[in-house]
Amino acid sequence: MSVDTPRRLVLLRHAKADWPQISDHERPLAERGRKDAPAAGRRLAESGITFDLAVCSTAARTRETWKLAVGELPQRPKTTYEERVYEASPGELIAVLNETPDDVADLLLIGHNPGMQGLAEILAGSAEGDAQTRLNRRGFPTSAMAMLTFTGSWKSLEPGVATLFDYWAPHE
């Protein structure tokens, strides 16, 4: 695959989590999250993107979100669970994405805020339609996703190189 290949990156924040008396990393989804995660999966399926790879935080709420969302996709992408995505800054997330093999055209990253919103804002040098306005207005609530495209290798992914072509949040 050429480095001139257009690539798509979708950032999905985990669904609404519960707050039981356990470690933050082990928090499960709340009832609303268990309803919103499949809706996010349906939105991913409607996008028509066939993901080559999904990179998911190791936190319980991201794993559970992905388990409920992936069931809505026509085919399951290869999935890796990456502990560095948990509590990662946008810069740390870019470092993880920079390690993606160049044969991956379309990648889904399932993670947490504030890193996911920060990453969407930092990567998007431009936006199509009202995607940026909606992101700015809504922020990045649970189950929200930002869809970006860029041209180049994953190693070349850096601030400002991508276009935000869609933004979705449940209950929008």
Q: Give the list of residues 6+ apart from residue 25 with CB closer than 8 angstroms, or none.
A: 58, 59, 60, 86
By DSSP bridging, strand 124-127 and strand 162-168 are parallel
Nearest Cα residue to 121 out of 101, 152, 144 = 144
By residue count, the chain amounts to 172
- Residues at the binding site for substrate are 61
Indicate the residue type of 101: P
Alpha-carbon gap, residue 121 to 125, rounded angstroms: 8
Alpha-carbon gap, residue 133 to 136, rounded angstroms: 5
- Residues at the binding site are 61
Place of tokens 């609404």: 16
**What are the φ and ψ backbone dihedral angles of 34, each rounded to 5 degrees?**
-70, -20
